[in-house]
């Protein structure tokens, strides 16, 4: 006997069906764009002959930048996408890209910051982004107005998802 629940087909009006279809497409695009960004970063490091760091780690270093923070702050500030922040921080410490030291106030807390080698990686990602900014309007056809509208919509989606968690929508 198969006890697994199967979604029951529902009849949606055309507007609900349009929203469903567009929402699912948006989810797919958000996920794919993040993977594509990682591919672009990986390609940049491959071109430079750097195989000592992966794209997730390079993006993490870029997002840390000049800050000094804890691993928990990495997640809460949205600097890290993934479930294994501890592994990547430890790996980056071992590779010499991140400094870490116990907090003097709370010995359980570890503060992290970039080493000079970590800064170099972050600068590589920053230069990649600068190069993109120089051509995205001409080549990609995306200008300030489009980015402004896209950012506004993505912020609203983020707020909706946050509210869906907070208020169990």
Q: List Cβ<8 Å contacts ≥24 apart for 149-154.
A: none
pLDDT at 142: 97
3-state SS, residue 168:
coil
pLDDT at 108: 74
3-state SS, residue 100:
strand
pLDDT at 9: 60
**Residue 128's closest CA among 41, 17, 23?**
41
Angle made by CA atoms 36, 40, 41, in degrees to the nearest 5: 115
Residue 98: count other Cβ atoms within 10 Å of its Cβ: 22
Task: Tell me if the pTM is above 0.95.
Answer: no
Question: Which CA distances in Å does 77 have to 74, 117, 162?
Answer: 6, 23, 14
Q: List Cβ<8 Å contacts ≥24 apart for 11-17.
A: none
Contact between 55 and 45 under an 8 Å Cβ cutoff? The reply is: yes
pLDDT at 81: 65
Measured in whole angstroms, how far is the alpha carbon of residue 90 from the centre of its chain? 19
pLDDT at 127: 98
Measured in whole angstroms, how far is the alpha carbon of residue 39 from the centre of its chain? 13
pLDDT (tens, 9 = 90+) of the chain, 169 residues, equals: 555 666 656 678 999 999 999 999 999 999 999 999 999 999 999 999 999 999 999 999 999 999 998 877 887 777 766 667 878 888 999 999 999 887 777 777 788 999 999 999 999 999 999 999 999 999 999 999 999 999 999 999 999 999 999 998 8
SS3 content of the chain, % helix, strand, coil (to 5): 65, 5, 30
């Amino acid at each position: 006997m198969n006890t697994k629940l199967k979604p029951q087909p529902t009849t949606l009006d055309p507007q609900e069906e349009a929203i469903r279809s567009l929402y699912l497409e948006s989810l797919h695009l958000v996920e794919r764009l993040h993977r594509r960004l990682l591919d672009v970063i990986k390609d940049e490091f491959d071109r430079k002959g750097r195989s000592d760091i992966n794209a997730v780690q390079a993006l993490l270093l870029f997002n840390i930048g000049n800050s000094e923070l804890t691993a928990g702050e990495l997640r809460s500030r949205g600097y890290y996408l993934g479930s294994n922040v501890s592994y990547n921080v430890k790996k980056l410490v071992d590779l010499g890209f991140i400094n870490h030291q116990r907090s003097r106030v709370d010995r359980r807390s570890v503060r992290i910051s970039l080493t000079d080698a970590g800064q170099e990686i972050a600068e590589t990602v920053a230069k990649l982004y600068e190069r993109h900014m120089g051509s995205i309007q001409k080549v990609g056809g995306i200008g300030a107005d489009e980015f402004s509208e896209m950012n506004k919509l993505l912020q609203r989606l983020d707020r909706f998802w946050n509210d869906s968690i907070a208020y169990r929508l």
